[in-house]
Structure 1
Amino acid sequence: MEVQVTDAAKSRLVAMGVPEGSRLRLKADIEAHVSCACQMDIHMIADGAPPLAVSLEYDVRVDEEAQQLLGDEQPLVLDYVPLSGLVLRSPHETLAHNIQVEA
């Protein structure tokens, strides 16, 4: 699964103390809630597992549960929106998935 990281998201990750070049994993929250905006919580944690996708010097992998929740639409875009925080966008959704970052 391809995940693109925007410059805004990259800057936000660095500001949160996640070093550039970190290996990150997108992990779905089992308690994911789906609303009319298709929102669900995704936890992003540092991870040492082999990469499934590399984007803008971040090694990003999406676990199987998250991939099932997010679907097959690619590429996903990790972005930072000032009032919404870190979000995942698919080609046909905007601000669809809220992200929480854990070091």
Structure 2
Amino acid sequence: MNASIAIQVLPKVMEQEETRRIVDEVIAYLASTGLHYVVGPFETTLEGDLEELLDIVKQCCRICVEAGAPSVMSYVKISYKPDGVWTIDDKTGKYQNR
């Protein structure tokens, strides 16, 4: 694992429930990748190989449009280190279950 990303998708739709439905489709896709991920209130964090994660970001955008959004804004943070990055658990494990 040489990268982690945090992605937030904001489909351009008028209804809040429609936004939630589309975001749920994106999260279902992220779950289907088999990568370790954590859903947060503003973004979802995944860890894996940089190339695979970048392809996942592209697919998240496509999913939003295919689900009915005329457009989508995506905010992405990337941590990359060829010999390995800190895991999600390394960064936040001590704060879980508080």
Instruction: From the two aligned structures, give the one with the greater strand fraction.
Output: 1
Greater RCO (Cα-Cα under 8 Å, separation 6 or more) = 2
TM-score range for the pair, normalised by the shorter chain length: under 0.3
Instruction: From the two aligned structures, give the one with the greater helix fraction.
Output: 2
Higher Cα Rg: structure 1 or 2? 2
- TM-score, normalised to structure 2, is 0.28
